[in-house]
Amino acid sequence: MSQGWIEVCEVGEIDEEDVIRFDHGAVSLAVYRSDKDKYYATDGFCTHERVHLSDGLVMGSVIECPKHNGRFDYTTGAAKKTPACEALKTYPVQIEAGKVYVQID
């Protein structure tokens, strides 16, 4: 893997249609595996309050905040339901040799 790509986990360590937390230095991410077996990554904390999205439920392409039920499309970061109104930052993800990598700038 070229520079800037960080190993997150083995593929399969994230259940289908689920999310895990991944911390790297000062950055905390939520890394998703979609119901279509694709991987995505966003900022870990909800843009509404400091609640980690990896504790929330993934439904299709949507992650729901476990506290206040704000919703985001984790494939684009777009806010979908109040009280979330500010988009989530997303990060590029790649799969190589059975491992999930994320690019943190």
Q: Does 49 bind another protein (CB under 8 A)?
A: yes
Nearer of residues 44 and 56 to another protein, judged by Cβ: 56
Choose which of 1, 24, 82, 96 interacts with another protein (CB under 8 A): 82
State the residue for tokens 């109104």: 85
CA distances from 56 to 5, 10, 79, 88, 91 (A): 25, 21, 15, 14, 19
| Contact partners, residue 80, CB within 8 Å, separation at least 6 | 62, 71, 72, 73
Stretch that binds another protein, among 2-10, 22-30, 60-68, 89-97 (CB under 8 A): 60-68
Residues in contact with another protein by CB under 8 A are 15, 17, 49, 55-57, 64, 66-69, 82-83
